[in-house]
Amino acid sequence: MKPTTLEFKPQERNIFFHVLTGCNLSCKHCYINPDQHGKEMVSRNTMETWLKLFYEPTKDTNVIFLGGEPTMHKDLAHGVKFARELGYATVTIDTNGYVFHDILERIEPHEAVISFSLDGPDAEVNDPIRGRGVFATCTAGIKKAVKKGFDVSLIYTVSSMNLAHLQRMPALLEELGVKRFFIQVIGIRGKSAATTERLQVTPDEWLTIIPQVAADAANRDIHVIYPKVFLDPNEPFVCAGQLAQNFFIFPNGRVYQCPLCEDFPLHTYDIKNNTLHRNSGLSEAQLFTLEIPEGCVMNKLLQPGNLEYLENGTVKHRISCCLLKQEMKL
Ligand code: SF4
Ligand code: SF4
């Protein structure tokens, strides 16, 4: 089975709304950086106002509620319903599995997709990364959501800590009744940027193992989506910052277009007095326009360990935009 690349859709807007930065967990690879993203939580009023600010009725606008742990926000259920009423095409909640504030009771299955993060096929692999008891709690949350009829997906962040165990995930997903599987590659930001441990996997590991596991899951009728990471020789490089409409919103008002930039004050926009202001100084928007043989500029700046060069000095694999995905499904 071969993957299909999901091209960026200029007519689609994706709003990644971090409604708070707090979390009950302390994952080893957490991408939240309180120095950059603050420690705030948006109010119910702000949640409504910013959902209106980013809604674009002439485009398919999707919202993904994130944190921290978004279900720790007592008004998340209200935010989901408000987004649906406004007309957002899809609403997703990304959760660590603790599903606080009875969120599964307070919204209806047709109102939101629930996306669970789990980083191992058992507690022995998952819990050293995400915390003691997290595997049991998260899988209990998944079972409850599936039983209630929610559309459930699962995100597995691949790193050197759990790559060897990815192959056991398709069987677990089948057992849990999860129909969509997002394989994510670890980003070197937040806590991952601060550790001396090498968390990235090598190009050979990624290119060998991920397609095999994806095919196994797809053959079990699970829809698999994973980042392209390494471009094929004749594949064009495209930066989502130039072509797509993605907004990563933080409760301190920063709005990024590229998740790799989130560790730095390089955000394109700020929300001030509930209005979107484009920053006039140096921002990620200037970096998006730079063309280099290695592909993604931010990857070269932040994650040069992803790059390998041939003897003649040319790059072995160009790195795609981190937002370029591939899918496999029956
Ligand atoms: S669940 Fe998410 S926000 Fe919470 S610590 Fe883990 S990675 Fe960070
Ligand atoms: S990951 Fe690279 S290519 Fe994608 S938006 Fe960011 S800078 Fe552009």
In-domain check, residue 314 = no
Q: How many domains does the structure of the chain reveal? A: 1
Phi, psi at 177, each rounded to 5°: 80, 25
Find the mean pLDDT for residues 4-22: 95
Ligand 2, atom 6, residue with closest C-alpha: 258
In-domain check, residue 302 = no
- The DSSP annotation for 62-94 comes to EEEEESS-GGGSTTHHHHHHHHHHHT-SEEEEE
d(C-alpha 275, C-alpha 53), whole Å = 8
Residue 262 Cα to ligand 2 middle (Å): 12
- Give the ligand at the shortest distance from the Cα of 296: 2
> How do beta strands 152-158 and 180-185 pair?
parallel
Find the mean pLDDT for residues 2-28: 95
Question: How many CB atoms sit inside 10 A of residue 126's CB?
Answer: 23
Find the mean pLDDT for residues 278-306: 91
Ligand 1, atom 8, residue with closest C-alpha: 30
CATH number of the domain at 284, please: 3.20.20.70
Banded model confidence at residue 62, pLDDT cuts 50, 70, 90:
very high
Residue 285 Cα to ligand 2 middle (Å): 10
In-domain check, residue 305 = no
d(C-alpha 172, C-alpha 25), whole Å = 23
Banded model confidence at residue 192, pLDDT cuts 50, 70, 90:
low
Residue 240 Cα to ligand 1 middle (Å): 25
Q: Is the CB of 321 under 6 A from ligand 2?
A: yes
91, amino acid identity: V
The 10s digit of each residue's pLDDT in 227-258 is 999 998 889 999 999 999 999 999 999 999 99
Banded model confidence at residue 142, pLDDT cuts 50, 70, 90:
very high
d(C-alpha 55, C-alpha 62), whole Å = 9
**In whole numbers, what is the pLDDT of the chain averaged over residues?**
94
Confidence at residue 86, expressed as pLDDT on a 0 to 100 scale: 98
Confidence at residue 300, expressed as pLDDT on a 0 to 100 scale: 92
Lowest mean pLDDT among 109-113, 219-223, 234-238: 234-238
The 10s digit of each residue's pLDDT in 160-183 is 999 999 999 999 999 999 999 999
Give me the numbers of helices (H) and strands (E) for the chain, helices first please: 12, 13
Banded model confidence at residue 203, pLDDT cuts 50, 70, 90:
confident
d(C-alpha 254, C-alpha 18), whole Å = 10
Query: 76-86 and 44-54 are packed helices; what angle lies between their axes, rounded to 10 degrees?
Result: 30
Q: Which residue range(s) make up the domain with 64?
A: 4-293+320-328
Residue 322 Cα to ligand 2 middle (Å): 6
In-domain check, residue 88 = yes
Position 197 pLDDT exceeds 90: no
Residue 257 Cα to ligand 2 middle (Å): 8
- Give the ligand at the shortest distance from the Cα of 131: 1
Confidence at residue 47, expressed as pLDDT on a 0 to 100 scale: 98
In-domain check, residue 9 = yes
**What is the rounded radius of gyration, in angstroms, for the C-alpha atoms of the chain?**
19
Q: Alpha-carbon torsion 97, 103, 108, 112, what sign?
A: negative
CA 48 to mean position of chain CA atoms: 22
Confidence at residue 115, expressed as pLDDT on a 0 to 100 scale: 98
Confidence at residue 11, expressed as pLDDT on a 0 to 100 scale: 87
- CA-wise closest residue to 95 among 112, 81, 108: 112
pTM above threshold 0.85: yes
- Give the ligand at the shortest distance from the Cα of 138: 1
Which ligand 1 atom sits nearest the alpha carbon of residue 21? 3
Confidence at residue 98, expressed as pLDDT on a 0 to 100 scale: 98
d(C-alpha 46, C-alpha 50), whole Å = 6
Q: How far apart are the first and last CA of the chain?
A: 9
**Token pair recorded at residue 26:** 């302390």
Confidence at residue 306, expressed as pLDDT on a 0 to 100 scale: 77
Position 152 pLDDT exceeds 70: yes
Which ligand 1 atom sits nearest the alpha carbon of residue 191? 8
Burial 24-55 (b: 16+ CB within 10 A, else e): ebebbbebbbeebbbebbbeeebbbebbebbb
In-domain check, residue 310 = no
Confidence at residue 199, expressed as pLDDT on a 0 to 100 scale: 79
Q: What percent of the chain has pLDDT over 90?
A: 86
d(C-alpha 224, C-alpha 327), whole Å = 5
Position 193 pLDDT exceeds 90: no
